[in-house]
């Protein structure tokens, strides 16, 4: 287990700002997933024409929502050093909404996928167009309801190539690392017939558990905590998506995702297989948690993240 940031949590003090039951635009959520997982995007492999098309769509949505760019650009280019990579450069897309505080919540979802294999397109509707759709929905909500904390919305590239985009973000962060209080990562929110969305990370950061327990179930989705203990082996999701790069530096995270399903990393991960009733409610649960944290993070002491 890596070094973790020890945040004191005073159980005797009541949690402020219960989740407000905000409701993302379900039709827009589903449209974003449908566009990003279309055959024309060619599976969004980093460095490909399809990946560039996905970038252009996400950038258009950033502008529509009103996210602010860093240094007049939403793009953060970086080098990929991975033997599986077919290209040397990839691109993170970063926008933010300023808060009353310079302390930061970073919301992440990777937009790349695995591309084409043996003549078949791996569209990655759940992995991870669904996470990007939820990220855009959260950004739209906070654009209309300005946050207390600054929130960075990072659509990351290169997750399928060694979590490269998250690594690059933290090596060249747009804000000082010590200002980042929390990472909320979304990776696969769209397919679960049981209505279960997992929130992983409280084993490492138990001070966040009371907040997650305050998130009330939606009609079609409920939170389940877990998949974060070392003894679980492959069922420990600590290192399985971009949140791990934040964890390496001792920055607390919560990772939202569904358990693996038959479409995971298969050419059948298509828009048609998204659980249309579940997905908008799953995105709403993440938004409820973000609202809770925006209302409460100022009550946690600020400490310098551990070095990797």
Give tens-digit pLDDT for 96-152: 999 999 999 999 999 999 999 999 999 999 999 999 999 999 999 999 999 999 999
Q: Which residue has the higher pLDDT, 124 or 11?
A: 124
pLDDT surpasses 60 at 7 = no
The mean pLDDT value for 156-168 works out to 97
In a domain, 305, yes or no: no
Domain that holds residue 246: 26-299
Condensed to tens digits (0 to 9), the pLDDT of residues 241-278 reads 999 999 999 999 999 999 999 999 999 999 999 999 99
Residue 72's CB: how many other CB atoms inside 10 A? 6
The mean pLDDT value for 26-47 works out to 97
Percent of the chain residues topping a pLDDT of 90: 85
CA distance 41 to 240: 24
In a domain, 94, yes or no: yes
The mean pLDDT value for 221-225 works out to 98
In a domain, 202, yes or no: yes
The mean pLDDT value for 165-178 works out to 97
Can you tell me which residue has the tokens 């990393």? 265
The mean pLDDT value for 229-241 works out to 96
pLDDT surpasses 70 at 304 = no
In a domain, 131, yes or no: yes
CA distance 184 to 286: 9
Domains held by the chain: number? 1
In a domain, 248, yes or no: yes
In a domain, 138, yes or no: yes
Reported confidence tier of residue 45, pLDDT bands at 50, 70, 90: very high
Kindly report the CATH number assigned to the domain that includes residue 172.
3.40.630.10
Contacts by 262-270, CB closer than 8 A, 24 or more apart = 263/126, 263/191, 264/126, 264/127, 264/188, 265/114, 265/122, 265/127, 266/122, 267/117, 267/120, 267/121, 267/122, 267/123, 269/37, 269/122, 269/123, 269/124, 269/125, 269/126, 269/127, 270/37, 270/123, 270/125
Question: How large is the angle between the packed helices 26-36 and 49-65, nearest 10 degrees?
Answer: 160
In a domain, 214, yes or no: yes
pTM value? 0.92
Can you tell me which residue has the tokens 């991975």? 82
Condensed to tens digits (0 to 9), the pLDDT of residues 183-203 reads 999 999 999 999 999 999 999
CA distance 306 to 308: 6
Distance of CA 163 to the CA centre of its chain: 13
In a domain, 115, yes or no: yes
User: What pLDDT shows up at residue 85?
Assistant: 60
pLDDT surpasses 60 at 279 = yes
The mean pLDDT value for 74-90 works out to 83
Reported confidence tier of residue 22, pLDDT bands at 50, 70, 90: confident
Residue 165's CB: how many other CB atoms inside 10 A? 30
């Amino acid at each position: 287990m890596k070094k973790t940031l020890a945040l004191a949590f005073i159980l005797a003090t009541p949690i402020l700002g219960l989740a407000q039951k905000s409701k993302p635009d379900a039709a827009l959520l589903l449209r974003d997933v449908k566009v990003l997982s279309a055959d024309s995007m060619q599976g969004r492999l980093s460095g490909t024409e399809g990946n560039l098309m996905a970038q252009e769509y996400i950038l258009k949505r950033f502008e529509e929502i009103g996210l602010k760019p860093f240094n007049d650009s939403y793009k953060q280019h970086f080098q990929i050093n991975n033997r599986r990579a077919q290209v040397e450069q990839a691109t993170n897309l970063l926008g933010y909404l300023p808060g009353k505080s310079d302390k930061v919540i970073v919301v992440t979802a990777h937009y790349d996928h695995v591309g084409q294999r043996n003549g078949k397109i791996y569209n990655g509707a759940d992995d991870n167009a669904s996470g990007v759709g939820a990220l855009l929905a959260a950004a739209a909500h906070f654009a209309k309801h300005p946050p207390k904390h600054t929130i960075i919305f990072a659509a990351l590239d290169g997750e399928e190539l060694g979590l490269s985009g998250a690594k690059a973000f933290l090596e060249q962060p747009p804000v000082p690392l010590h200002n980042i209080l929390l990472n909320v990562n979304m990776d696969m929110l769209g397919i679960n017939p049981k209505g279960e969305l997992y929130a992983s990370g409280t084993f490492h950061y138990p001070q966040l558990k009371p907040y997650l327990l305050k998130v009330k179930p939606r009609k079609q989705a409920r939170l389940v905590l877990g998949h974060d203990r070392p003894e679980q082996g492959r069922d420990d999701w600590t290192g399985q998506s971009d949140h791990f790069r934040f964890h390496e530096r001792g920055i607390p995270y919560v990772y939202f995702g569904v358990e693996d399903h038959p479409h995971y990393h298969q050419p059948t991960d298509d828009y048609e297989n998204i659980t249309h009733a579940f997905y908008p409610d799953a995105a709403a649960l993440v938004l409820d948690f973000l609202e809770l944290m925006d209302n409460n993070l100022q009550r946690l002491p600020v400490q310098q993240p551990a070095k990797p």
